[in-house]
Every structure is written in C-alpha cells, then in structure tokens.
Structure 1
C-alpha cells in the first residue's frame, strides 16, 4: 500500500495508486461496492483522498456509480472482454515487433528472469499474476515508444476488471511460461514478425481461458 506520508504524489494520487494496487492484488473484485468510509479504513487513508481517487476510477471506466448503491467496480461482459483482448493483441504485437528492434539483451534477460519467477510461483497464483503484469509492462518498455506505452496504460487499467487470475490452474502457468519463452526467443533473434506472432498466440490462449472461466 502506498504510504501517504512518504509518497511524492498528492494525497489523491497516492490514494488512487493504493486503490489500483488493491484491485490488482484482488483485495477488491469486479462487482464489489466501494463505500468511501470502508475503503478509507481498509487502506488506512482519510476519506477526502479516497473520494478523489474514486472519482478518478469512475472517469477511467473502472468504477461506475449506481443509484442508491454508490460506487461499484465494473464487471465486463463477454463482448467487452473480447474487445479488450482484440485491442491488447494489436498493441502487444506492435510492442513485440518493436522490442525485437530496439530492446537490449539486458531487458531480454530481465524478461527471462521474470518468466522463471512466474514458474516458481505456482503455489501462489496471485504472485505469479503480478509478475506476469510486470513481464508485459517490461515488453512495452523495451519497444522504446512512449505513445505505445501510453496506449498500453489504458488497456492495463481495463485488465483490472477481468476478475480473478486464471493462474489457479497449474497447466495454465506452464503454458504461459512456454509462450513467454517463445516471445523471448524471437526477441533475442531480432525477429520482429515472429515475436509479434508469438505475442498474439499467447494472448489468444489467454482469451480462451478467460472465456472458459466466464462460461463455467
């Protein structure tokens, strides 16, 4: 949780960061009601920055305001999940292709290290999912394009609304690690087309698992 006493940001920005972290870690889930008082107590924050953070989450489409209920974390429909992944595939194919051109060997080593850590976190799915987020963010950074990175930020915020991680299935983790390895291999070979194809194959698999979970 962000420490408001030491944070370089305003209290509202720090509260927003704390809420985003809580959403990413699963402390709050899609469909949950976010009452100012409860959130402030749970995150050890005052109500004013929490109110500001909730407004920002609403503006970003993560929270919706319902009459007589208040702020609620949005749930994505199956159509919205498919649309989200369609855009994610477009962006990540581009990121992988550009990273093959501009990324450094040190960055590829870091991706390898994160991939090994995902495999080592099989007993703690939420940790594996968090490392996976870091993996994809590192891939975007290796592309060396600030506009691509900014576009990915909006997508990453929407990913919060997907709900519980699919990493509860051990087979899922092994598939993720294998597909990440395919991406890294293509990056090291500086093969942008192959890296893009591997990135798309990975996200198509991820989408299948998401849709399977929604229909269960």
Structure 2
C-alpha cells in the first residue's frame, strides 16, 4: 500500500479527515489499495501522519459509499465485488451513461461541446501512455456527465464510477480496447454535436457494454 503524500497537510483550509479521505480514495482508484486489503486505523494514521480520529471519519465516509466494508473477522477492508455484482454494476452504468449522453445532446453548451471534442481527440495521441490515457478517459466521462446538467444523475454516476474503481486495473490495457474506446468516444461526441439524443444514448450504452466485455476478459471470465 502506497500512500505517499500528494496533498499538503500544511494547508490549513483542508480538514484532516478530508485529506485522509482524498488519499484513501485515490489509493483505491489507482490500485494502491486493493480489494480485500485491511484498513487498520492505527497503520493508516501512522502512514499519513495524522491521529486516528480523521482516519476513522474518512473510513466512515468510504463505508457510506460502499468502498470499504466492515468484515466480521478482519475488520475494515476494501470492498470486494463479486462477478454477479460486476454485471449488476455495469447494467446500471449502461442505463445511466446512456441517460447522461442523451441529456448532453440536448443541453450541452457550446463550450462543453468543444471540451468533449478536444478530450476525445486527445485519446489518439495518448494510446501509448496508459496512465495519461486513463486520466483522459476519466476526464471525458466526467465532462460528459456534467454536460447533461442533471445534478442527481451526476451524483449517482459518481457513485457508480467509485465502485468501478474497486475492480482493479483499467480495461484499457486489454489488447485492442484502447483504440476501440477512442473510436467509440469519437462516435459519441459526433452524435452529441448533432444533438441526436437517441444516437448518443445508444453510442454510450454500446460503449459501456464493450467496456464490460473487456473488464470480464481481464478478470478471466
């Protein structure tokens, strides 16, 4: 587990519990904390240079987001997701991403359209750099979600993607998946630019289905 500090505890505007939450959340996202790993308060407090109280508060927040789970024998652990739950998770993601794309086709501003196009175009230049490609992919979906201008959908999608972070390494490293995802992003942005809600929704749903197949392949399913 690597929790090297990337945010400063010297920032007086950042509460200790928020600092710990951000660090643990990022560690789950980047795989430094893996499914089933124990989350002992005393160890985390020592690594992050804080008392146990903000660690406890951050863990409570993560538990509320279903990112950590209280195991009867091992204590607090990073949540494990079963194959059945993966299918359930992606079923919901498909519906929600489709809705976000349809709404974006209706409500995205010219500035948001330009941002989506710029981010999608950047994919091709990053195909050989997994870390930057993953970051760009995350930015694409976040921008797409915001472009739908529905705060409740945005909140739910944030939760869905938080759970996806528990699944481990990105599916973009599967052979052929990164260039395919780049083409899917291009088609999706084109539909949104045409203000074609139906096509945008179907493009988004198809993109999620392809992502699920790549994810299952990575998991050996």
TM normalised by structure 1 equals 0.90
Contact kept? 1:25, 1:130, Cα under 8 Å: no
Instruction: Identify unmatched segments of 5+ residues in structure 1.
Output: none
**Alignment partners' CA distance in 2, 1:81 and 1:94:** 20
Report the counterpart of residue 114 of structure 1 in structure 2: 119
In the aligned structure 1, how far is the partner of 2:50 from the partner of 2:124? 35
CA contact (8 A) 2:121 2:186 kept: no
Structure 2 counterpart SS, 1:215: coil
- Change in Cα spacing, 1:30 to 1:119, as seen in structure 2 (3 Å) is farther
Asked whether the 8 Å contact 2:105–2:191 carries over to 1, the reply is yes
- Residues 39 and 125 of structure 1, relative CA distance in 2, 3 Å threshold: farther
Q: CA deviation at 1:166?
A: 1.4
Contact 2:174 2:214 in 1 (8 A): no
Residue of structure 2 equivalent to 1:72: 77
**Structural RMSD (CA):** 1.9
Superposed, which structure 2 residues align to 1:74-153 within 5 Å?
74-153=79-158
Q: Deviations over 1:32-87 (max 9, x none)?
A: 22222333344444432122111221222111122342221112111101111111
> Matched residues in 2 for 1:22 and 1:8: separation?
22
Q: CA deviation at 1:7?
A: 6.1
The equivalences for 1:51-70 within 5 A come to 51-70=56-75
Judged with a 3 Å threshold, the aligned counterparts in structure 2 of structure 1 residues 190 and 105 are, in CA distance, closer, same or farther, namely: same
Q: In 2, are the aligned partners of 1:2 and 1:15 still within 8 Å (CA)?
A: no
Q: What is the TM-score of this pair, normalised by structure 2?
A: 0.89
What secondary structure, in the 3-state scheme, does the structure 1 residue paired with 2:215 have? Answer: helix
Partner of 1:207: 212
Unaligned residue ranges in structure 2 (runs of 5+): 1-5
Per the alignment, do residues 34 and 64 of structure 1 end up closer, same or farther by CA in structure 2, a change over 3 Å counting?
Answer: same
Aligned length, in residue pairs: 216
